[in-house]
Amino acid sequence: MHPVRFGFGTKISGDKGAEGDGVGVQKSKHKVRCFQTIETTKIEGGRDRLRVRGGDVFYGFCLSPKIEALYPIYFLSRGLFLLLVLSGFLCVSDSLLGLYSYTVPKFPSMAASDEFGTLTRAFSGLGVDENALISILGKWHPEQRQIFRKGNRDLFIEDERQFERWDDRHVLQLRHEFLRLKDAIVLWTMHPWERDARLLKESLYKGPQYNVLIEIACTRSSEELLGARRAYHSLFDHSIEEDVAFHVHTTEKKLLVALLSAYRYEGTKVNDEIAKLEAQTVSNAIREGGNKKDVLEDEEIIRILSTRSKLHIKAIYKHYKEITGNSLDEEVDGEPRIKETVQCLCTPQAYFSQVLDESLKYNVDEISKESVSRVIVTRADVDMKQIKEAYHTKYGLHLSNKIEDVANGNYKDFLLTLLARGDH
């Protein structure tokens, strides 16, 4: 007698019979049972009658010897299938719990370190390096991104549950950086009058930024400032003067309203004697004022700074140094609004180079960073060559090199393109 097995899941019944040779397997829904067979006989319906040692007789379907040879393969395949199902279940469960860790593919440690450094820089500074983000992050596996998160605590934090997440401050900052190029391009394509009007409005409500109000009032020509005021009327149905008078409640109000209302003479004639007398008047006001409130609200200082031509004020600047031995902007160093006014009227290129240097430093606030786009966009077609020269003279570094070092991606390329316009 050859060994026989009943198929899986076969319902079988039995009665007593004689003993014999052979091996059989009974598999029911809940258990597997082995036995020795004596005799198998075909009966009605194609079933087999199996008599086994011990006297039991079972009815079912026997497997042929050929199929019998394939039985080990069958068992093995069933086992592998169950193993794969179990592994998949464990992976999904661990992933949901945040505990699953992928097998780290091997990659050169030096290359990985370089990529981590490149990516950290792509997220830092002004703008973002879009090409680096795409080329590196697009190919990184989950465990590489995990290593980057764990190794970069400036951008990511880990809470008490050891959950890694972006620092909310950096999420907000990245939103600003991704928008920086768009904002600069929008500013560049605006009509200069609209651009100045919108900058005036933003500086009044965001901060406020009195330095931007002074910058626009004192570095534009009379016609340019008048155009910006007209654009302000059209855009906001108010005048910039009335908005400043209504919203500013500090001692700067009189000076700001006067500067923004100015329409200066732009001819070449300067009465040097009057300039010398007014230099003495300014000197007396600064010395006798005693505190910055008195200087800011001094009627004579406001009259001179808001009505005299830029050439006349430069003459006052020269005579002031002859009289006192100090430069005027140094004398009013304790009052930034007066100092900014004097610098914008007398040495605008030095003023802009200083603004750029402050805004191109690492870890400055968002308002300071916005100065980079504002200055380069608004001065690219005016005096950028002189600003670059003033920057190099004061800081011993080319402005383009500084931007290369701090800015990223397409934003950096756009700034450098605008800088290069000053060379033509």
Judged by phi (left if over 0) then psi (alpha if -120 to 50, else beta), residue 265 lies in beta
Of 24 and 187, the structure prediction assigns the larger pLDDT to 187
Which class for 175: exposed (0-12), middle (13-18), buried (19 or more C-beta within 10 A)?
exposed
- pLDDT tens per residue across span 93-112: 444 334 333 334 444 454 56
Q: What is the mean pLDDT of residues 189-200?
A: 98
What is each CA distance from 164 to 117, 137, 265, in whole angstroms? 19, 17, 62
Q: For position 78, what pLDDT does the model report?
A: 60
Nearest to 355 by CA among 377, 374, 341: 374
What is each CA distance from 249 to 208, 209, 217, in whole angstroms? 11, 14, 19
Place of tokens 């608004």: 378
- pLDDT tens per residue across span 220-262: 999 999 999 999 999 999 999 999 999 999 999 999 999 999 9
Of 278 and 297, the structure prediction assigns the larger pLDDT to 278
Please state the separation of Cα 424 from the chain's center in Å: 33
Residues of the chain with pLDDT > 70, as a percent, come to 72
Q: What is the CATH number of domain 184-260?
A: 1.10.220.10
111: which 2 tokens?
């290359």
**pLDDT at residue 44 greater than cutoff 50:** yes
- pLDDT tens per residue across span 46-85: 555 555 555 555 545 454 554 445 555 555 666 666 666 5
**pLDDT at residue 183 greater than cutoff 70:** yes
Q: What is the mean pLDDT of residues 385-413?
A: 96
Q: What is the CATH number of domain 109-166?
A: 1.10.220.10
Phi, psi at 41, each rounded to 5°: -140, 135
Q: For position 169, what pLDDT does the model report?
A: 83
**pLDDT at residue 88 greater than cutoff 90:** no
204: which 2 tokens?
């009044």
Secondary structure of residue 382 in the 3-state scheme: coil
**pLDDT at residue 291 greater than cutoff 70:** no
**pLDDT at residue 381 greater than cutoff 60:** yes
| Domain locations along the chain | 13-69, 109-166, 184-260
Q: For position 79, what pLDDT does the model report?
A: 63
Same fold, 109-166 and 184-260: yes
Q: What is the mean pLDDT of residues 270-290?
A: 91
Confidence bin at 22 (pLDDT 50/70/90): very low
